[in-house]
Amino acid sequence: MKTLNLVQAVNDALAVALEAHDDVVLLGEDIGRFGGVFRATAGLRERFGEERVIDTPLSEAGIIGTAVGMALYGLKPVPEIQFSDFIYPGFDHIVNELAKYRYRSGGQFPCPVTIRTPVGGGIRGGHYHSQSPEAYFIHTPGLVVVCPSTPRDAKGLLLASIRSPDPVLFLEPKPIYRKAVGEVPEGDFEVPLGQARVVREGGDVTLIAWGAMVSLCEEAAARIAPSGVECTIIDPRTLWPLDIDTIADAVSATGRCIIVHEAPRTCGFGAELAALVQERCFLHLEAPIRRVTGWDTPFPYTLEHAYLPSVERVLDAVEATIAF
């Protein structure tokens, strides 16, 4: 084991994939010579060469379109979109082409593209560098959507994503790129896609969160525990396909459920989670399912702290759910 932060774990996974598979190719803006805005690809161009770690023009549609073509010709491209907010020029390529190739070809063209992109607020980036667009892509059949919350999961899930026959959108929570630190296995290992992680077990309320919100929920759970309220925390890790069985088991055991995410409340993935939990756990619920989310506004510059879920907002939700 070695101790890494989350961005170092991503870099480690990319190095392992490049070393193990000659058909893995990285491409994106500033990922080569500069090593990426967040340094996720630092040193890889020097180690593996400019034909496998490719600096591209500033064109998200071009990056995704090129990656689709590479995959159809037998490569395993891993494009980086510098911020998830910039992904929309490539949206048509992703939802109308990439997500459909395996289905429309009867499995003949699996198109294994893993799109890496940083998501979320917490870095004072404002409304063009802070969005959480997971719901757009979870809504797209054919895409796998992944969001790790720890360095170990970042490495293991990224390696599993690159080797998946399905296209994957790999969302990296940038506010914890350097804040999340933990032990990571050395060498090659995978965390299976589609399996949730039980972060903490408790008997009173289940918190469901992903990305940077997991550590927020851990802090909230630790703060309320001395009062006698114990929280279970579930990190889906793979947002789609979802491990609903692990979630339903946890909610059925506690009878209470709170969903925490950064994206706006209306039609956020929390709404789908609430529906799924209600369908499976209705007879076990002791209180309405609650959501702690971003607000239905563009992400603000100066009021970022008021927009993002906070420990205090999570604690308010826990107390209201317990008191219902």
- Residues annotated as catalytic (active site), given as ranges: 129
Quickly count: other Cβ atoms within 10 Å of residue 25's Cβ. 21
* Residue 151 half-sphere exposure toward CB, CA atoms < 13 A: 22
Contact present, 156 and 190 (Cβ < 8 Å): yes
Contact present, 206 and 299 (Cβ < 8 Å): no
Buried-exposed string 233-258: b where 16+ CB fall within 10 A, e elsewhere:
bbbbbbbbebbeebbbbbbbbbbbbb
Judging by DSSP bridges, how do beta strands 2-5 and 181-184 pair with one another? antiparallel
Q: Which of 295, 318, 290, 112 is nearest to 205 (CA)?
A: 318
DSSP string for 269-281: HHHHHHHHHHHHH
Contact present, 237 and 196 (Cβ < 8 Å): yes
Residue 86, phi-psi category: left (phi > 0), alpha (psi -120 to 50), beta (remainder):
alpha
- List the structure tokens of 89: 């020029």
